[in-house]
Amino acid sequence: MALRKREVELLADKITANLIRSGHVKLNKDISILKSIVRDILQADADKEREIDAKTKELLKQYSTEIEKEGADSSRLFAMAKKKVAKQEGFLL
């Protein structure tokens, strides 16, 4: 499941702090620039995952009759289909 906006913000704060604390990043300017870059990357990732979720739901919707007939576990089927769609999109879950 994709991160929500608040989760993206919190994670961006933690990642930024860890990068600075670890010495992997040395700031010449305001920390907000680094935070913004990290947040944008995380948000793009969350948006792509939402897109994959929507494609997966649409795919499963096409086979809803068969899925109901077989009594398939819809959450398990969704997870399996999502992995396949993500792979086709070149997205690592």
Report which residue type is found at 34: L
Quote the pTM value.
0.83
Distance in angstroms (rounded) separating the CA atoms of residues 13 and 11: 5
Distance CA 86, CA 7 (A): 21
Tens of pLDDT, residues 2-48: 999 999 999 999 999 999 999 988 888 889 999 999 999 999 999 99
Q: Which two tokens stand for residue 36?
A: 């913004």
Q: Where are the domains of the chain?
A: 5-89
- Angstrom distance (rounded) from CA 7 to CA 76: 25
How many angstroms separate the CA atoms of 1 and 34, rounded?
25
DSSP 8-state secondary structure symbol assigned to residue 7: H
Read off the pLDDT of residues 52-93 as tens digits, 9 standing for 90 and up: 999 999 999 999 998 888 898 989 999 999 999 999 999 999
